Structure 1
Amino acid sequence: MKPFYKQIIKFFAFLCVTVVLFWLVYRDQDPAELMKALREDVNYTWIWVAIGLGMLSHISRSLRWQMLTKSMGYKISFMNSFMGVMIGYFANLAIPRMGELTRCGVVSKYENVPFSKLLGTVVTERVFDMIMLLLLTLIVVVTQFKQVGIFLDNNEDIKEKLYGMFSSPVTWGILVLLVLGLIGFIWFLRKGSFFTRLHHFMTGLKEGLLTVKDVDHKWLFIGYTIFIWLMYYLMLYVCFFCFKFTSGLGPLVGLTVFVLSSYGMVAPVQGGVGAWHFMVIAALMIYLPHTEGIESMTKTFALLTHGTMTLLYIVVGVICLLVLPIYNRNNRND
């Protein structure tokens, strides 16, 4: 099957999952009531604040990526780094995890940096992002232990998956088979031209992964990473002030909702649609269990907040997609 058709099938498969999840979350929501709440009950000033915070996080991510590529001897421009990041976010709305490959592809094209090395730097970024998410998860578990327990008790499916993830013999058996299969595949192809190309690719990937040890200002790199996640968190938390029912919730509640929603973004659906909404709604209902009409209000909150992030990715991503070739053509002419 041609790669183009594979991408089409993959897109519609993920789209179907996204639509089903979104329908399951909002199937009981009255559209008229939802629109009325969005018109009358929202302080949109905080939405603009959230957008500004989101842009700061993306700028910081672009600067951090520049640091990693520079440590390999490739100095990419800030504009290409930023536009690559934003196009990547935009691509994730089509196919989950496609953004990482897309931003490496566009920057490799215009900056003449090997794709494999750029991909290695992105993997390095993801490792540090995962460390940040795990640290924030630890803070939430320690400070909100009771509430996390309530969340798991109210969502038995998630609880069982988390407990069974590392205890299932099937999981470990699959991992062993994958490792053995990979070893056998490499052994079979070790003398072919494909293996040579694969070796070059893996060498570039490894070099990209190890870039962090050669970064000139390691504390600045760590500072960028912390700043990115701080802006992510604040982007969600300031949206609490858009609604009266969430405006009184404290920063730790915001952190809990943010961490749980971050795991929703990991789900294999476009932009976390459905999964992100479910996690936010379930988390907010822990802290406001006896509020009248709380389920409807939390659904409105989740829809508005996620819609703001998605709209930001679409608008800025499309602009960058249009500007990127023009910017680089002008640079070549200069």
Structure 2
Amino acid sequence: MRFDKKIIKYIVATAILALSLYLSARQIAFDDLIMQLQGLDYVWVLYSIPVIIASNIIRALRWREIHTPLSTEVKTHNAFSAIMIGHLLNSFTLRFGELARPIILAKKEKLPFAAVISTAVLEGGVDFAFLIILFFISLVFLSEPLFKLLNFDSVFQGSLGIFIIVLVVITALFFIYRYRRQLWQWSKSILPAKFASKLEDSMSAFVQGFVSLRNPLFYFKMTLYTILLWLSYALIMYLVSFAFAFQSAIQLSFIDSIILVVFAGIATAIAFTPGAVGVYHLVVASIMTTLYSITSNEAFAYATIIHIITLLVQSCIGAIYLIYEGISTIKLGEMKK
């Protein structure tokens, strides 16, 4: 049965990947696409590589800051290597890298795994909140073409839907926090004593990762790091746009790159394929063709180049760290257990 479930999971993932690639590439003339890729000014693509690396260094610094209540000695290098190995694993698995990242850092820094994974959850929450903020700013302030793509009703409905989801999550978290002791006592009453004791230790460690929220300075630092991080993502897209002929005609601005990053972030968040392959291309190419009147071939080539260069740089660095530190998939499996 377990084997059957694994097969079903991979079949579903493969089907989603194939559907995403089909939807994103169904209107593409591949001869023209190849010509587009051959005619690029790849110097601008190379310019994006240091920014890709810098963005992950910023992310490592931010993650290190979240760990301050747990340990003031978490090394930025260790956080960076865990992030890059996570990117490598995400490129060919369904988000296993998101789990491997805290596992690796917890092992290297000798920290409780539950505490480190809670910092990863907190980091993801910060990015999600910032993504929502950027999404609404994009709708309201940054780009008139967005209102051509979305009529008032759809903007209202989408905004209302997001607001309801956020409200439900916040309300649920409030009640969990408000009645945490009662919930915990109830949980212990229905669990075996041995398991309840282990779970209590894990939950205590997990809560430690959120201690940073008590420090007002934490919010300032997180905001600063997150702004720098998302600006670096936008800079990558902005630099790569100069490799294409459409940039001289359309002149996409840095603000336009921020809008693209918002939708690329949404695509990455909702993707159920390794490395967000297919979903990323579909969303980015659709936004570019709809908002900026760029041809399907150019838009798909642009999304492909950004995706490939980012995936390649991060995976290569992740592979180097994986080999250098001797972390095998078997060891990761043991650590996961």
Structure 2 unpaired stretches of 5+: 177-182, 328-337
Q: Which residue number in structure 2 is paired with residue 230 of structure 1?
A: 231
Question: What SS is found at the alignment partner of 2:19?
Answer: helix
Q: Which residue number in structure 2 is paired with residue 331 of structure 1?
A: none
How far apart are residue 317 of structure 1 and its match?
A: 1.3
Q: Which residue number in structure 2 is paired with residue 262 of structure 1?
A: 265
Matches within 5 A, 1:1-334: 10-11=9-10, 13-40=12-39, 42-73=40-71, 75-144=73-142, 146-152=144-150, 186=187, 189-214=190-215, 219-247=220-248, 248-269=251-272, 270-289=274-293, 294-325=295-326
How far apart are residue 237 of structure 1 and its match?
A: 1.7
- Amino acid corresponding to residue 64 of structure 1 in structure 2: R
How far apart are residue 33 of structure 1 and its match?
A: 2.3
Question: What SS is found at the alignment partner of 1:243?
Answer: coil
Normalized against structure 1, the TM-score is what? 0.80
How far apart are residue 227 of structure 1 and its match?
A: 1.1
Asked whether the 8 Å contact 1:14–1:95 carries over to 2, the reply is: no
Q: Which residue number in structure 1 is paired with residue 180 of structure 2?
A: none
How far apart are residue 165 of structure 1 and its match?
A: 7.0
How far apart are residue 224 of structure 1 and its match?
A: 1.9
With over 3 angstroms needed to count, the CA separation of the structure-2 counterparts of 1:92 and 1:160, relative to structure 1, is farther
How far apart are residue 5 of structure 1 and its match?
A: 8.2
How far apart are residue 243 of structure 1 and its match?
A: 0.7
Equivalent pairs counted in the alignment come to: 312
How far apart are residue 262 of structure 1 and its match?
A: 1.1
Question: What SS is found at the alignment partner of 2:209?
Answer: helix
* Partner Cα distance (1:215, 1:188) in 2: 37
How far apart are residue 234 of structure 1 and its match?
A: 0.9
With over 3 angstroms needed to count, the CA separation of the structure-2 counterparts of 1:124 and 1:38, relative to structure 1, is same
- Amino acid corresponding to residue 151 of structure 1 in structure 2: L
- Amino acid corresponding to residue 208 of structure 1 in structure 2: G
Asked whether the 8 Å contact 2:85–2:319 carries over to 1, the reply is: yes
Question: What SS is found at the alignment partner of 1:242?
Answer: coil
* Partner Cα distance (2:219, 2:141) in 1: 30
Q: Deviations over 1:206-238 (max 9, x none)?
A: 110223435977644432222111111111121
* Partner Cα distance (1:130, 1:11) in 2: 27
How far apart are residue 201 of structure 1 and its match?
A: 1.7
Normalized against structure 2, the TM-score is what? 0.80
Q: Deviations over 1:131-175 (max 9, x none)?
A: 22122112211124642233346xx8x99887667779xx99xx9
* Partner Cα distance (1:34, 1:58) in 2: 30
Asked whether the 8 Å contact 1:100–1:119 carries over to 2, the reply is: no
Q: Deviations over 1:274-313 (max 9, x none)?
A: 2211111121113333x6xx11111111111111111122
Determine what percentage of the aligned residue pairs are the same residue.
24
Further displaced range: 21-30 or 108-117: 21-30
CA RMSD of aligned residues (A): 3.4
Q: Deviations over 1:241-298 (max 9, x none)?
A: 1112134112222222221111111123222212211111121113333x6xx11111
Structure 1 unpaired stretches of 5+: 327-334
Asked whether the 8 Å contact 2:85–2:101 carries over to 1, the reply is: yes
With over 3 angstroms needed to count, the CA separation of the structure-2 counterparts of 1:258 and 1:268, relative to structure 1, is closer
- Amino acid corresponding to residue 145 of structure 2 in structure 1: Q
- Amino acid corresponding to residue 292 of structure 2 in structure 1: L
Question: What SS is found at the alignment partner of 2:264?
Answer: helix
- Amino acid corresponding to residue 226 of structure 1 in structure 2: I
